[in-house]
Chains A and B, each alone.
Chain A
């Protein structure tokens, strides 16, 4: 059975890295959104969401990530997803999220891509 949701964060050169674990439903999505908002209010505009340990997600949870994309779009920021399970990647593709967010294999690659924007 999928483990309960949890997240941890790291700041690397003013970039926020959110690493999740477990099922991302409405509760998980809201927790990611709340964590993001705290850092966004402090000026963070580049975010990596590492889904390596979240193999099951639902569209309600993902809708909270659209809010993050929206806020970053409005302020010239950028979100990059990493370590996507192939089915989750397909889901996000169907939802069109990669029109406004990036995807990379690893957190290090995402950080490199974001650093090239500067």
Chain B
């Protein structure tokens, strides 16, 4: 259960104050599939960052399951991100010098999980995303679709309850994009709460709940 109440977020750009989010309310139930659409600068990414605990609202309440997150410390929010939230980015954000395997392993390693425990876990996740034969390749040796699949593997390896995808198909061709969305929807069917930010109406329209944003508010 995720609940946003009266969220405000503004940025100072020069002399101007830009309202990225205005008095925004949103409720999600576990297993929701939500698409966020809207023009650039409408506050989609800001909302996503706040949902992912990367950003902090200036005002309002954010209830994540039973936790009021707005009063948490930086460390506590990092801990919540580590165990509950997965991110998939448009630019993949794989660590270039690490292999696919090591990239997927990274969250487990940072969480201090034993190598003997985590290796089979990584293998399994790579297998599920049909990346087994690519596991020793570095990102620059992978196609865009494969890179995004590695990124999804990394985002889901800790079994989060919330998966946030910011334009996951933005850098991909139609076919690979389709593949990535299929994978994300499969994960949603397995129970994960999925939120996709997209410009592509075709992808947006597949979500069970569709939200349009304009000027920092849901319309």
Query: Do chains A and B stick together as partners?
Result: no
- Which B residues contact A (CB, under 8 angstroms)? none
- Which A residues contact B (CB, under 8 angstroms)? none
